[in-house]
Amino acid sequence: MAAISALNSNCEAPFQQYMEEMMKVQYPHDRVAGVVYEGFMYFAQAVANNLKLPGINVRTSAAATLLLFAVFPDAHHEKGYISFPESLAQAPVPELQSLDLKGLLGSTEIPTPILELRFTVTDATKKASSIVVNTVHFHEQQTLTKLDKQALKSVIYISFGSMVSMDEKELVEIAWGLAKSEQPFLWVVRPGSVRRSEWIELLPESIKERVEGRGCIVKWAPQKEDLAHGAVGGFWSHCGWNSTLESVCEGVPMLCRPYFGDQGLSAKYVCSVWKIGLELEGVLERGKIERAIRRLMVETEGVEIGKRAKDLKHKAELCLSEDGSTYNALNELAQHILSFG
């Protein structure tokens, strides 16, 4: 305990200084993307927050410890077991419902320093942009399901690519539209993409409070992996061609908001030709955004769009499979290049 406390107390300042120096001398195409740290080195998350970098928390123990740490302060010591608060008990994890504290800690009395450490580690974990757990899915399937709590096809993923920018009014209208839709969401807001703002400082606290627990705003996300996640049921996109193809290949319906270049044509393909999305046209306004999200995510129209998106995914998979058109075209290209010699 003393060693962990000393590590975190003494390392935060020098680590921040080192990171700041690294970020000053980095090359344009070799930037610091984030901080990866072991869970007990929670000082690294504080530095990541200060530098506005994503922090990736690596947990070297079982996935169940994430839940265990979160509920320790509420343990019923006199009964000798841990009970889950309501927020964690919606889908009980049988292997953690009745743990013997005597066997676990040697005593029903949990020392205050241990409780404080668990609270601090859990708080840092909540602030991390990602969590890496060293486990095997079938060993802790029910526990991992607790960490993956969004309903199937319920989340709308929002990302406008690497070049699109917006003003404060658009940022606020989008946020209110998402809030009023009552849909869970993951929104990628690229640092510097909001004019005259570093990130989302211009968002009123009332909006942040409204979406707390239902919406998540991040600076970066692994888009292909997110679109492949079973909880994602819609993609609000600028309709860059790469994003469009990734959405098609994962069978995710789209809410289209093209800005420039070929994005308008891509949106026409999505909405008018393939009919796997809806287009948001004109001035962005929270009521319009709310209605469009609900049309795509929960109404009958959205269900039909989702079926077409799934069919298009199947066709894309056939093209990519062995002897499919894309597979064969790549082979032909390879043979053509080899013929140059």
Residue spans of the domains in the chain: they are 2-147, 155-320
Q: What is the pLDDT of residues 39-88, one digit of tens each?
A: 889 899 999 989 888 899 898 877 777 766 655 544 444 444 444 344 44
Which of these ranges, 119-123, 158-162, 266-270, 274-278, has the smallest mean pLDDT? Answer: 119-123
| Angstrom distance (rounded) from CA 330 to CA 279 | 33
Is residue 36 classed exposed, middle or buried when 0-12, 13-18 and 19+ CB atoms within 10 A define those classes?
A: middle
| Angstrom distance (rounded) from CA 277 to CA 291 | 14
Query: What percent of the chain is modeled with pLDDT above 70?
Result: 82
Mean pLDDT of 94-117: 56
Local structure of residue 151 (DSSP, 8 states) = P
Return the structure tokens found at 194.
């909001």
- Determine the number of helices (DSSP H) and then strands (DSSP E) in the chain: 14, 9
Strand partners, 57: 37, 131
Class of domain 2-147: alpha beta
Same CATH topology for 2-147 and 155-320: the answer is: yes
Contact 142, 69 (CB under 8 A): no
Pairing between strand 55-59 and 215-218?
unpaired
CATH code that applies to domain 155-320: 3.40.50.2000
Local structure of residue 192 (DSSP, 8 states) = T
Q: Is the pLDDT of residue 139 over 70?
A: no
